[in-house]
A and B are shown apart, each in its own frame.
Chain A
Amino acid sequence: MLAAVCILGGLLSASLVRFSPGYGADERELDPRFSQASVEAIRNSHRLNAGLLSYYGRYLAGAVHGDFGSSEWLQRPISSLIKERFPVTAKSVLLGVLLAWFVALAVSLAGVFFRGFYFDISTTLASGVLIALPAAVVAIFSVYLRAPVFVAIAVVTFPKLFRYLRNLLNHAYSQPYILAARARGISRAKILFHHVLPLASPALFALLGVSLAVAFGAAIPIEALCDSPGVGQLAWQAALNRDLPLIMNLTLLVTLITVAANMLANIAHEGAL
């Protein structure tokens, strides 16, 4: 299943790039210093990948043996490009998701514990405003405020996470047995850790998968704008340069991560049930 989704995703992204206008055009062709032979060589290097299905077949055959091809734009092996940049993105995304979860949990729990009209309305408003902000705008703010990339990722992930989390917790706390537990005078912490979280955990795991996917999606424009040397920045430039092999590998990577995160969430969900 995982493999099928990835292969299909890769093929889709490869066809998008291959058939986008300007595929195979290289800025170097406008450089008058190059001789005819060199311009021809530059063009040929792009033609090599022009047959979509044959390219994709060759790519998959290579990938099985650990050869992911070379970037047309940077002329370097893709595996080394990704190896350099993936840790940067992974760190930003993980920190961003952690921060988003921490804030979202804190705010939703505060909402549950101190039920109040004004608190409720202000958090709803705040998350509403944040959810309407495109990732690129958040990125620009983060540049002006000198905030690290993971904070921008957290800001984008937080509102989506928060709304769901709050409903989940509100629902859990309105259960009759929780009311009963509170009536018995059981401490808040105990109720939270022994009764609420275990019950909500399958949904929380699913939410974790979704939030990872959201954060990864947000990382691309944010890294591109903040010039953070991660996979997102690489993907952005690869797209601008019509770098077919690089975009395809990056799409596959993101697909793999998203699908894997969702699968883990599913497994956790089913395991908990």
Chain B
Amino acid sequence: MPSPLKNLALTILLALAVPVRAQTGGELHFCLHGEPKTFNPILVDDEASENVRYLTGGVLIRLNRQTQALEPALSTSWKISRDRRTITFHLRKGIHFSDGTPFSSEDVAHTMRLLMDPETHSPTGDAFRSGEGTAQVQTPASDVAVITFPAPIAGLERLFDQVAVLSAHSPKKEMAVLGPFYVADYKAGSYVLLQKNPNYWRHDAQGHALPYIDSVRLDIQRNRDIELLRFRRGELQLINRLDAEQFERLQRENPAVTRNAGTGLDAEELWFNQSPAAPLPASKKSWFGMTEFRKAISMAINREDLCRVVYAGYAKPAYGPVSPSNHFWFNAHLEDPKYDPQGALRLLAQAGFRLDNDTLKDRAGNRVEFTVVTNSGNAAREKIATMIQQDLSQVGIKVNVVTLDFPSLIERMTRTFDYEACILGLVNTDLDPNGQMNVWLSSGENHQWNPSQKSPATAWEAEIDKVMREQATAPTEKERKAKFDRVQQIAAEQQPFIYLINKDVLLAVSPSVGGVAPVVLEPWGLWNVDTLRLGPAPELGAQE
């Protein structure tokens, strides 16, 4: 090739290569696993909308998903009054919404008014509702907002991590945002397209505007196998929360793309129906009400095997309501019970059960047999149920497994109470146990083993009620922690929920995405979306 031509070719090559190598721009592509029900951050209650809210919403205080510490975001500082009813925010100045509308304390007041409106029924707002009455917001200056609640709120500042500030004046209403991206396009059932917010307040250490990525395309894709297929084809760059089987498969093919963020917060659990309204025989009700019975079942379940067989080793045995990944709230002083079928039998014998020809019978001679329900379509839960069936046959208990579709399951759990035992994972998005108030209070709707009690049915439930309430009003986090440690201890002694496992948070990340640091908290691989970079390697496996 003559040299001028060669030079020309080289120049063209370089010109082509530079934009590809550039560390900013590009479109990140991943999937939502359901239709986002709303783009109004106040009404968000599903995971898909939550994802969009995280990527678009600007909040006053951000919970750093990696350090689990609170960091200033739209507020530069905040102060909580001694009675923990009032919080004063000092806001960042010179900030604009994505549509150019200036941001001020009036927007904070507007957001809080909408959020606390009892007619809104916002899960985010309900978390702030600790007493009768509404919150008052004062705006003494354009960069100062003072919010006063009718009653003290435990872990108040942490709740603001969920409150995306809305504009009081923008004609675009909730579509004007303060987060790294804004919703530019949405096709129902198909995709949500987010574009970089040119007015996003954060800059990197060199003063470059964030986010680095120009746009994010979230395809709505329910089928997880198709999602994985598309990832392997290079059409997607990230999958949040793979199941263990998919993760294993991907790891064999290409270990460079698999990322394990560690043990997650969500637990799978088994519980017995202790509701007096349950249409069950008296004998069964009496077993389910016995502490020894529940403890024996817990001891007879081999959790290590569950982790190994059902989750291919990508899970840890769970013994309590708080995952060890929740650094602050986990009670590390509780001893992990051992898998001990002989011990379980001894405990059952103390409670009057006896083993007769490998069949466990109660005092009255009834064979111990129960049915576990779980939701259909969840392969892991179905496997857990089968493993438990085998484990309990070792202590002479016959377990039947029935799967129901989700609405029928909810109907049985909350209305007819027509079930004996249930395996389910109750979602735990919040680090602070105050978010689980409705689970622990005996009057709570989510007190699944015996919900909505007029007065606590047992002494230990009464104690949990008392300690949970004290926890909510204790003046310091340390005291709150001591109270909640006690709740964890009672839960371990009484086993109303028999916790089984905490699964690992598993992701797939294309090597073309730089800066990903997956965490166990929602939104997993995307928590630092504003500092992610897209590089080359469009094909899977092609690494720099």
Interface residues of A (CB under 8 A from B): 20-39, 41-42, 73-75, 81, 84-85, 143-144, 225, 227-230, 233-234, 237, 240-242
A20 to B405 CA separation, bound complex (whole angstroms)? 11
Q: In the complex, what's the smallest C-beta–C-beta distance from A224 to chain B, in angstroms?
A: 8
Are A225 and B223 in touch, CB under 8 angstroms?
yes
Interface residues of B (CB under 8 A from A): 35, 37-38, 45, 118, 121-124, 126-127, 129, 187-190, 219-223, 226, 229, 404-411, 413-415, 426-427, 430, 435-439, 444-446
Are B226 and A233 in touch, CB under 8 angstroms?
no
Given A41-B121, A237-B35, verify A35-B126 contact (CB < 8 Å).
yes
Are A22 and B223 in touch, CB under 8 angstroms?
no
Are A33 and B406 in touch, CB under 8 angstroms?
no
Residues of B within 8 A of A240 (CB): 405-406
* 17 more A-B residue pairs beyond the given contacts A39-B445, A84-B189, with a C-beta to C-beta distance below 8 A: A21-B407, A22-B407, A25-B407, A27-B410, A28-B123, A30-B446, A31-B45, A31-B446, A35-B438, A37-B118, A38-B121, A38-B123, A74-B35, A75-B38, A227-B222, A228-B189, A240-B406
Residue of A nearest to B187 (CB): A229
Are B123 and A31 in touch, CB under 8 angstroms?
yes
Are A144 and B410 in touch, CB under 8 angstroms?
no
Highest count of chain A CB atoms <10 Å: which of B126, B221, B437: B126
Given A84-B188, A144-B229, verify A22-B126 contact (CB < 8 Å).
no
Are B121 and A30 in touch, CB under 8 angstroms?
no
Residue of A nearest to B119 (CB): A41
Residue of A nearest to B124 (CB): A33
A175 to B370 CA separation, bound complex (whole angstroms)? 70
Residues of B within 8 A of A85 (CB): 188-189
A21 to B418 CA separation, bound complex (whole angstroms)? 12
Residue of A nearest to B413 (CB): A30
Given A32-B436, A237-B35, verify A143-B229 contact (CB < 8 Å).
yes
Residues of A within 8 A of B408 (CB): 21-22, 25
Are B189 and A28 in touch, CB under 8 angstroms?
no
A34 to B45 CA separation, bound complex (whole angstroms)? 9
Residues of A within 8 A of B413 (CB): 30
A234 to B437 CA separation, bound complex (whole angstroms)? 35
Residues of A within 8 A of B435 (CB): 32-33
Partner pick for A32 among B189, B229, B439, CB 8 A cutoff: B439
A27 to B425 CA separation, bound complex (whole angstroms)? 13
Residues of A within 8 A of B129 (CB): 35
Are A22 and B444 in touch, CB under 8 angstroms?
no
Are B121 and A32 in touch, CB under 8 angstroms?
no
Q: In the complex, what's the smallest C-beta–C-beta distance from A4 to chain B, in angstroms?
A: 31
A155 to B540 CA separation, bound complex (whole angstroms)? 32
Are B445 and A29 in touch, CB under 8 angstroms?
yes
A213 to B444 CA separation, bound complex (whole angstroms)? 49
Partner pick for A233 among B122, B189, B411, CB 8 A cutoff: B189
Are B410 and A29 in touch, CB under 8 angstroms?
yes
Residue of A nearest to B45 (CB): A28
A23 to B416 CA separation, bound complex (whole angstroms)? 12
Are B414 and A29 in touch, CB under 8 angstroms?
yes
A228 to B220 CA separation, bound complex (whole angstroms)? 9
Residue of A nearest to B220 (CB): A227
Residues of B within 8 A of A41 (CB): 121
Residue of A nearest to B38 (CB): A75
Residues of B within 8 A of A241 (CB): 407
Are A32 and B410 in touch, CB under 8 angstroms?
no
Residues of A within 8 A of B126 (CB): 33-35, 38
Are A242 and B223 in touch, CB under 8 angstroms?
no
Given A81-B188, A227-B220, A227-B222, verify A22-B410 contact (CB < 8 Å).
yes
Q: In the complex, what's the smallest C-beta–C-beta distance from A231 to chain B, in angstroms?
A: 10
A29 to B427 CA separation, bound complex (whole angstroms)? 12
Are A75 and B37 in touch, CB under 8 angstroms?
yes
Given A32-B439, A35-B126, verify A21-B121 contact (CB < 8 Å).
no
